Amino acid sequence: MRLVERNYRVARGPSRRGGEIDLIVRDTDGTLVFVEVRARQRTDHGGAAASVTFGKQRKLIYAAQVYLQALHTLPPCRFDVVAVDGDEIEWLLAAFDAG
């Protein structure tokens, strides 16, 4: 994968945050991947992956839509999550979708 953007932020207005995408990368097949990185030391409340709530997904989707508006052609896209629980790292491909 090739890094395209890091910490891409978009606002919904002067005082409202719209969302942030930790990493935007291009996969070898041309897919544009929006990556959310979550870290938790403990898994008491479900761990890092579980912390990507529906509300967080909505913000990521909104930021991705804004990013895609600037492109001339829309590539295939997906949303991945990198979950870091203590010393364990898990990359969840297509963790959720925009639909």
**CA end-to-end distance (rounded Å), the chain:** 24
Q: What is the pLDDT of residues 14-67, one digit of tens each?
A: 666 778 999 999 999 999 999 999 998 866 667 899 999 999 999 999 999 999
**Fold (topology level) of 2-96:** Trna Endonuclease; Chain: A, domain 1 (3.40.1350)
CA distance 29 to 56: 27
Closest CA to 71 of 32, 22, 34: 32
Q: What is the pLDDT of residues 60-88, one digit of tens each?
A: 999 999 999 999 999 999 999 999 998 89
